[in-house]
Each structure stands twice: as structure tokens, then as C-alpha cells.
A and B are shown apart, each in its own frame.
Chain A
């Protein structure tokens, strides 16, 4: 009996010490959306930051949806300090009171970020392109623009697109003759939305829809589709590591930014800010491009990008020479929910 009691006491004390030790350790918990992109962040940022500051980084993965974070914030138990998000999601999380409003004095000069990549609740990580990818061994004639998605005569066969209205509606309007500069003006009107859906109607039966970033490369590889929209880095990764013969079409690409944010009630905000300041330095911001083909968001980072990585970036001068569009975050913050509903209704018809 006595022995049991002593053991219990020792056990309790050990547990308590362990817990305290745990709480005091410099740990930064980051949730990102996995895959080749998270691997690249690990090499470019997590590991060097750990080495420099001695802080340990705990990685978590998720699908990029904020529902999980909302549940954490609502219940007051927030085990993560940083979360990577898309721009539209930053606005959404900001509006819903899930993400912390950032203090840029602790991060870096806000005007040194590309316009639209430094938001109230999220700071830009990298620039990526929504592009068209195809397999030249399957498709004999090469598409020259993302808008060739809509040409089923010249390019028969299934094509994959992301199961989401953003990008697809923009491309539909451009394919219908709207100039890139006017796309969001047109899309803000009910007639413009009708016009975009009408254009999508013309290829609806030829579309396979994807949800996760890794799917486009798989769909191309299994020849389920002859061409697919995709995030450029995922396709480049399939070309470089998996030795796939895929090709990327840059003309009419849509440029977007990946973001990182601090959830409300994060346990270690000081260290989170330290990390944000670290990756926002131009020389560090440029490092990611060495591991995945996503470009820096700092305007003064271009000179730090490795020479062999530069030509593959979505914001490399060559890839901005043709027509392109920068995704309008404000527009999707305003109309996103309604257009998603309309899009789902359209899918179901």
C-alpha cells in the first residue's frame, strides 16, 4: 500500500514536471496543407529557423479549410500558433474573428510586399500560378493558353478543373471575350455571372473536378484527363521528382498568394511573430523558390532567388509577358459564399 502511494506520488510529480517543462519550451506549432509545399517550407524555413532560434517546430497538416480552426477558437483551446491559408480564407477568417489582426511593426515594412500580399490578418508567403498542364505524349497539339480549356473541338477529351468557382469563372469570362482588366467588373453583375456559367455550360460534360492540390498530376498521369488546371508548383514537382513529361501553359495564368496567419488565442504569439519576421526578410522569402517553384512576395527579394529557380516561377518576367490576371481577394471575400452556392447549384443541375 505504502509503496503504491509513493509510486503514485512520484508519478504525479514526474507528470507535473514534464507538463511544466513542456509549457516552457520554445515550441511553435504550425499547421499547413501538406504535400510538396509543406516539404519545401520545412527545408526553406522550418529547419533554418529552428537552428537559428533553438525553437522547436511542431508540424500539423490540414486540408486548408478553416472549420477546424474556428472550432479551436470557439472552444478556447488553440493548440496551433500559425496556420497557412489562401487569401480568400484570410478575409473570411478575419471577418469571422478567427484570425488575429497582425501588427506589421513586428513583421516588416508592409509596403515592401507585392500589392495584395500583406493583409490585415495574413501575411504573404509566396506567389503561385493557377495554370494549365498537359501531357504532350497524349495531347499531340500543344495548347497555347489556359483558355484552350474551352476549345473541345481542337482538344477533345476530358479536362480537369478545380471544384470551386474561383478561377473557373474568371477563365470562362476571358474565354468569352472579356479583357482581363474587366473580369471582376463584369463578374460583380448578375448578367456577368450568368455569362460565365453559360460559357462553363459549353464544356460541363467534359469536366472532371478536383479538390486537393495533388489530384491534377494524378489525373494527368492516369490519363483520366487530357489537360488540367493546377497550381504550378505541384506540376513542376511531378516533372522534376516523378520525371513526368508534363508541360505547363502560362499564358492567361491567374496569380495568387499563399498566406500565413495567427489564430486568435494562440499560445505562443511572440514566437509566431518572430517566425513571421524571419520568413519575411527578403533573403529568406526568396529561399522557398529553391525547393518548390513558388515565387517570393517581397518586391526586394528577386535578387536573392537562386538563378536556376527563377525561370520556373509564376512571377518570372517571361511568365508575366502573356495575358495574366491577379486574383481579386476583395471580390471573392464579398461574393465568394454566394458564388459557391450558385456553383454548387449549377453542378447539381
Chain B
């Protein structure tokens, strides 16, 4: 086991520490610490440009984007007077006339500076149907002709409806939990507690679960296919192994889009796979492989196979065949030798490969979009929809945030159970 891990003795710091110890045995640990500290500093200095680049080009944008999940000042910025007027409203019934007048003034000002549309959209995201009501009221206020704003506001039923004012009051806080709660199918109820949204609107928990299920199924499939293949490659002569590795890597060098498109050709109703199944007599009628979960898992497994296989192979390659022979010579049956000598040694590679594949699967986008059916869309498809189609980047940020937290938690659990140093990457 320990032969697999980077040996402590290889490290120059320790070697230097030992020579210091020869000179003065009492300062062994001090010298060791000094040497290690200098070593770490040097390592850090070498990595500094990369870390800086990562922080600037990756870290900051991600934090900025994710902050949209909790920070949405559109309504607060647009309704300063209303915020003040609502400061001590208890949230029950309708607020006083002062709030209506303040809202009318805020709406007129937004119209004057051309921001009424943005306000309407922000309110509409929380209160469907608000959009046209805001725009209608704004137009009426503009063409008031001496009519008091309060009368105009009261004449539009929307502003006196029961659900409207709590949403406005809630929106006047720039920091909001609205999107994060929505991403977990939760919402605030009228009494200030958190409740589940009605079942016909609940969607994201189900999609998160589905994403994890598909990722787990694909990981398992790649392991079942990848493990024997990695074993085969590591045990055949070098020349043949090289050919097999190229065979694994060749599709790996082709773009995911192309490979996915190729699968759509194979899997469609009158495609090659269906033809073959019919011809072999395995199926009696054409199967719906496209737009189905099974087709999705087949295609994703093919794309992910190298990610699982390579870490396993890299570990298997280092295990000397003589170990197994030694185990046999000591009386172990083949299965016992495999279980007690071989498996523990390849385990870190298996874990690394599976974790890599699992985490990559969580973010899959193109393949589910093209091959999966309507009920096979993963969370990334919903994030893309909010970014591109709905233009609700707050919701996209909230979903990304939850996915990131799930992924990090998962990684943390793995690291805890197995120890990060045991994960062996290619």
C-alpha cells in the first residue's frame, strides 16, 4: 500500500533535515520545520502566477455571478420612497395611503428615466401578471391630466389585491433569499414562515435528484466497463497496450458535440442500433432509444469512459505481476489474492476515476439536451434556460450555487472517508 503513495523519503526537505540532524541532534525538529517552511514558500511562489490568474479570471467572476443569487437591488433601487413608506408596515392587509402615493411617485420617476420596464420585469418574476399592470399604471400616471395619483392607484385592482404589497415590501430589501429558496422549491408564506411550493410548481429538487441519479448510473456503468478494460490493457504486452490506449483515447479527442451527434444517428428509431437488435432477434419491435433515459446513459457512458478508465489504468500499471504470484505461492486462491492484494492497491485509482466522472456528469449539458427526453433534462439545462431564455440570471445563480454546494459537500465527504492523499489521478 505505502509503496503507492509518494514516499516521504523522496522529499528533499527531509533529506536536508536529516543532514542538519547529523550536525546537532537536538535541533532536528526545528531544522525540519525551517526547511519545510522554506520549501513551502518556494512552492507557493512558483504557483503564485497561476493562483493569481485563477483568482482573477475564475474566482472573482464566479463569486460575482453567484452573488446575484442573493443580491437583487432592482426593486429596492427603483422604489426608494415606497421603501421608506413601508418601513413600519406590519404586512397585514393593505398599507396606508402614504404607501400608495409614494409608489405612484416612484413609478412616475422610473417612467421618466426609462426604468419602468426593468421594474415591471423584476416584479413579474415574483408576481406573475405584474408586468402589464405596472406598465398600465405607469401610462395612466403619465396621462393623469390633474387626476390625483392616489385615485389612479386605487382604481387599478392589482394594487389593492391581497398578494401584491407583501411582494413589494419583500422586494425593497436588496439582499433576498427568494431565489435560493425557489431553487429548493421553497418560499415564504404569508405568516413569515418557510413552506414548500405547491406540487405543480415544485421542480428543482426532483431535477437535482435526477441529476445525481444519472451521474451515479453513468459512473457505475463506466466502472463496470472500464475496470476490466484497464486490467486488460495493463496486462497485455506493451505494443498491444499502446494500441488499446489509442483506441480508448481516439474518441476522447473528438468533440463531445460530434460524439453526441453520432449517437443520435445510431440510436434513432430507424437507426443502426435498432436495425441490429431487430436483425439479431433481440427485440421484436423498434425501441425508443432516442429521447429516453437509457439512450442518455449509453451516450454519457461512452463519453465518460476515458475519465474513469485512465486513473484506474495508471494505478494498475504500477502493480507488479509478481505480487499476485507471491500471493498464490503463499496459498491464496485467485479470488482471495485479487481481493486482498490487488483490489486494495487499485482502490485509490478507482475512487479517483469514479469521483472525476461523477462530478463531470453533474454539469452535463449537451448530451441530455440532444439525446435525453423532456424528463431527462439535468440541472445544467435549467441553468442554461434561465441564463439564455428567461434572462433570469438570479435564478441561474441560485441553482448554480446549490449545485456547487452539493458538489463540494460530496467531495468533502469523499476526502473525509478516504483521505485526499489516497486519491490518485493520472
Q: Are A338 and B128 in contact (CB under 8 A)?
A: yes
Q: Are A222 and B268 in contact (CB under 8 A)?
A: yes
Determine if B173 is an interface residue (Cβ-Cβ < 8 Å): no
Looking at B216-224, B355-363, B382-390, the stretch in contact with chain A turns out to be B382-390
CB distance from A222 to the nearest CB of B (A): 6
Of the candidates A70, A95, A347, the one having the most CB atoms from chain B within 10 angstroms of its own CB is: A95
Which B residue's beta carbon lies closest to that of A164?
Answer: B389
Of A209, A335, A337, the residue contacting B374 (CB under 8 A) is: A209
Q: Are B268 and A94 in contact (CB under 8 A)?
A: no
Of B270, B369, B375, B391, the residue contacting A348 (CB under 8 A) is: B375
Which residues of B are found within 8 Å of A67, using beta-carbon distances?
387-389, 391
Determine if A224 is an interface residue (Cβ-Cβ < 8 Å): yes
Of B117, B129, B202, B270, the residue contacting A97 (CB under 8 A) is: B117
Which residues of B are found within 8 Å of A223, using beta-carbon distances?
269-270
Determine if B243 is an interface residue (Cβ-Cβ < 8 Å): no
In this complex, how many residues of chain B approach chain A with their Cβ under 8 Å: the count is 39
CB distance from B138 to the nearest CB of A (A): 12
Of A92, A95, A188, A348, the residue contacting B207 (CB under 8 A) is: A348
A 60-95 contacts with B by CB, 8 A: 63, 65-68, 70, 92-95
Determine if B124 is an interface residue (Cβ-Cβ < 8 Å): yes
Of A224, A333, A341, the residue contacting B203 (CB under 8 A) is: A341
CA distance A344 to B392 in the complex (A): 15
Per-residue contact bits, chain B 90-129, to A (CB 8 Å; 1 contact, 0 not): 0000000000000000000000001101101100110011
Determine if A238 is an interface residue (Cβ-Cβ < 8 Å): no
CB distance from A148 to the nearest CB of B (A): 21
Which residues of A are found within 8 Å of B393, using beta-carbon distances?
70
Q: Are B268 and A347 in contact (CB under 8 A)?
A: no
Which A residue's beta carbon lies closest to that of B120?
Answer: A95
Q: Are B268 and A337 in contact (CB under 8 A)?
A: no
Q: Are B200 and A342 in contact (CB under 8 A)?
A: yes
CB distance from A34 to the nearest CB of B (A): 15
Determine if A4 is an interface residue (Cβ-Cβ < 8 Å): no
Q: Is the interface of A mostly helix, strand, loop or mixed?
A: helix
Q: Are B201 and A341 in contact (CB under 8 A)?
A: yes
B 255-277 contacts with A by CB, 8 A: 268-270
Q: Are A66 and B269 in contact (CB under 8 A)?
A: no
Determine if B291 is an interface residue (Cβ-Cβ < 8 Å): yes
CB distance from B200 to the nearest CB of A (A): 6
Determine if A345 is an interface residue (Cβ-Cβ < 8 Å): yes
Q: Are B121 and A334 in contact (CB under 8 A)?
A: no
Determine if B302 is an interface residue (Cβ-Cβ < 8 Å): no
Determine if A239 is an interface residue (Cβ-Cβ < 8 Å): no
CA distance A223 to B286 in the complex (A): 12
Q: Are A97 and B269 in contact (CB under 8 A)?
A: no
Given contacts A67-B391, A93-B391, A341-B203, 11 further A-B contacts (CB under 8 A): A65-B389, A96-B117, A97-B118, A163-B374, A223-B270, A337-B125, A338-B128, A345-B203, A348-B206, A348-B377, A349-B375
Sampled A-B contacts (22; CB under 8 Å): A63-B388, A66-B389, A66-B391, A95-B121, A96-B117, A96-B391, A163-B374, A209-B374, A222-B268, A222-B269, A223-B270, A333-B131, A334-B124, A341-B201, A342-B200, A344-B377, A345-B202, A347-B374, A347-B375, A348-B206, A348-B207, A348-B210
- A-B pairs, top 7 by smallest CB distance, nearest first, are A67-B388, A338-B128, A65-B388, A345-B203, A95-B121, A95-B117, A347-B374
